[in-house]
Each structure stands twice: as C-alpha cells, then as structure tokens.
Amino acid sequence: MTTLTGIRRRSIRRARQRDGLAFYGFISPWLLGTAILTVFPLGYALYVSFTAWDGISPYKPWVGLANYAEVLTSPDTWSALSKTLLVVVIVVPATIIGSLVLAIWLNEKVRGRVVFRTIIFLPAIVPAVAAALIWKVIFDKDSGSVNRILATFGIHPVSWVTGDNAFITLLVVMLWGIGAGIIIYLAALQTVDVEQLEAAKVDGAGPLTTFRHVTLPAISPILLFQTVLTLITTLQVFIPALLLAPVGVTQTVSSVPVANRLYMVDVWSQFFQYSRYGYGSAMIIVFVIVILILTAVVFRVGGRSVYYAVDPDQREDRR
C-alpha cells in the first residue's frame, strides 16, 4: 500500500518534471531572448547611466547620480517632456476615438465598406519613415501641394518644416494613421452579443444608449489594451520629427526645429550628436520610469472602468 502510493507519487512527480521541462523547452526562445535582448541591455544602460562614458573610450568614469541630477534639473528635459506629452494628449485620444467611430460606421452594412476599410487602414500600414517623407514632399515650401492650395487663396508660400509650423506638420503626419485601430475594433465589435443588442432595441434604447450600455462594456478590455499600446508608441515617437527636419541627414538632429524636439529626439542627440552616452542612458532610464508610471495610471483608471462596465453582478448590486 505505502509502496504503491510512493510509486504513484514518484511517477506523478516525474510526470510533472517532464511537463515542466517541456514547458521551459517550448518557451526557451523567448525566455533567453528576453534575457539577452531586453533585460541585459537595460541593465547595461543602467550601469552606463552612472558614468560619463563618451561611447568610444575604454574607460567609463563613474559619476554616481550626477547624470540623473542633470536630467531632472535641465530645462531641456522638461521642455522635451512637455512637448511629448502634448503630442500624446492630442494624438492618443484622436486615434482611439477616431478609430472606434470609424469602426462603428464600418460595422454597419454601408455600401463599399470593404473599400472604405482598406483605404482608411492603408495610411496606418505605411511605415513611419515613408509617412514622414510623403508629408515632407506635400508640405514642401516650393513645390508642395499644401502651399499650392494656399496659393489659390492668395497666401504666400509657408515654410512648414521650420519654426512652430513644424509641430503642426508633425501632428498631421501622426494623425494620418487615425484608422490604425479599425481592424482590431471591427474584430472586437463582432464579439458583442447580438441578443443584448436586440434586447436593448426592444427596450426602446437609442443608438447612443445602446452603445454606452451594451457595446462599450463588451469592447472595453480591447479599448484599454489599444489605449496602452498607442500611449507607449506615441510617447516614443521621434522618427517623423527627425525626418521632417529641413535637412535630412542621418544622425544629425541639430536641424530638428525646437518645436519638434521631443524626448526621444533629445535622447538621440545626446548619444549621436554629443556622444554623451552616460547622460543619454540616464535619460533612457528616466523615460522608462515615466512610461511605466503613465501606463500604470492608464491601467488603474481604465481598469476600473473596464471592471465596472463588464461585471453584470456589480451593476445589479448598484440598482
């Protein structure tokens, strides 16, 4: 009896071990990859951030927290951060709400919806490099279409990639991809319970009420997921800012107008213009922390409304 259970226990344990081995075997590419390609580099950047390394010399003079002190007290940091946040505040809601509204329209049986869906999603799959270059051509002072349209109203050619105008151009480039979320929202809208929609209609609810109480709760998790992703990618935007600059020479960020000096543009210039690898690394670490805090806030705020809307029992209690 005891030996039997002993044998069984041992064989269960052995089976578990085999399961565990298989699990780790299957996930090993990702596990090793993350360790080597994400965790280790970030750790290395953390180390470099405590030094005044110039990127070339074999010595990395230790400076302790001096880089961090400079990052936090430099007016450049705060100006770059506030510009980045301004982009986020404009682009993220516009993209999330714009995509959602377009997806809701496309979800109806409108004529030509497949063609509309394709055209609206198309700018979103155009790589950021190409988007920036396309708009650079369109906003070109001498030959661009925008100034041509303005000329018909008698307005003299405007320089769109310098001064404060550059920020408007940057926003246009980013808002071109306003349909980026439609595919995923259309997929999410398919999962909304048809019976609930019918029930709402029977109860005499208008389209807005139905949307708020049936559709929105059902798609709120995917909405939160999209918001977080869009927030993170928008925070890191810098390619359009870099490539819209009047002179498009690689790794020369000096031609980026002040209005477009986003946080990552600043980071890029610290590394590749000023060779301040230690300071640049400190900027990166600070930015990671900023991004984590903002993401946590969105999850906190958004997560609560997702739960609130999704859980039917919760609502029953409230009534």
Partner 1 sequence: MTARASRREHHPVKFTLLLVVSIALFLPFAALAIKGLTPGSELANNSWFPTNWRWQNIPDALNQIPYVRFAAISTFIAVVYSGLTMISSALVGYGFARLRGPGKRALFAVLIAMMIVPQIVTLIPTYLLFSQFGLIGTYWPWVLWGTAGAPYAIFLYRQFYASFPKELEEAARLDGAGRLRTFFSIFIPLSRPLMVTSFVISFNATWGDYVAPTLFLNADNTTLAAGIATGYYNSHGILLPNLLAAGSFIYILPVVVLFLFAQRSYVRGFVSSGIK
Site for partner 1 in 59-98 (CB under 8 A): none
Q: Which of 41, 93, 163, 206 binds partner 1 (CB under 8 A)?
A: 41
Q: Which of 236, 273, 275, 305 binds partner 1 (CB under 8 A)?
A: 236
Residue 229 lies near partner 1 (rule: CB under 8 A): yes
Which of the residues 5 through 34 are near partner 1 (CB under 8 A)?
16, 19-27, 29-34
Question: DSSP per residue over 194-236, as a string?
Answer: HHHHHHHHHTT--HHHHIIIIIHHHHHHHHHHHHHHHHHHHHT
End-to-end CA gap in the chain: 58
* Shortest distance, position 229 Cβ to partner 1, whole Å: 7
CB 87 within 8 A of CB 234: yes
Which of the residues 188 through 227 are near partner 1 (CB under 8 A)?
188, 190-191, 221-222
Q: Which of 277, 282, 306, 309 binds partner 1 (CB under 8 A)?
A: 277
Neighbours of 73 (CB within 10 A): 9
Residue 303 lies near partner 1 (rule: CB under 8 A): no
Radius of gyration of the chain (CA): 26
CB 244 within 8 A of CB 140: no
SS3 66: helix
Kindly tell me the number of DSSP H helices and DSSP E strands found in the chain: 16, 0
- Please choose, out of 73-81, 111-119, 163-171, 311-319, the segment that lies near partner 1 by the rule CB under 8 A: 111-119
The Cα 122–Cα 114 span in angstroms is: 12
Given its phi and psi angles, is residue 55 left (phi above 0), alpha (psi -120 to 50 degrees) or beta?
A: left
Q: Which is nearer to partner 1, 1 or 249 (CB)?
A: 249
* Shortest distance, position 319 Cβ to partner 1, whole Å: 25
Residues near 16 by beta carbon (within 8 Å), at least 6 away in sequence: none
* Shortest distance, position 20 Cβ to partner 1, whole Å: 4
Q: Which is nearer to partner 1, 53 or 167 (CB)?
A: 53
- Please choose, out of 3-11, 71-79, 106-114, 194-202, the segment that lies near partner 1 by the rule CB under 8 A: 106-114
CB 160 within 8 A of CB 166: yes
Which of the residues 278 through 297 are near partner 1 (CB under 8 A)?
280-281, 284, 287-288, 291-292, 295
Q: Which of 119, 168, 199, 301 binds partner 1 (CB under 8 A)?
A: 119
- Please choose, out of 61-69, 79-87, 110-118, 197-205, the segment that lies near partner 1 by the rule CB under 8 A: 110-118
* Shortest distance, position 1 Cβ to partner 1, whole Å: 29
* Shortest distance, position 215 Cβ to partner 1, whole Å: 13
The Cα 98–Cα 113 span in angstroms is: 16
Residue 50 lies near partner 1 (rule: CB under 8 A): no
Which of the residues 150 through 189 are near partner 1 (CB under 8 A)?
151, 176, 178-179, 183-184, 186-188
Place of tokens 């390609």: 37
Question: What is the Cα 279 distance to its own chain's centre?
Answer: 24
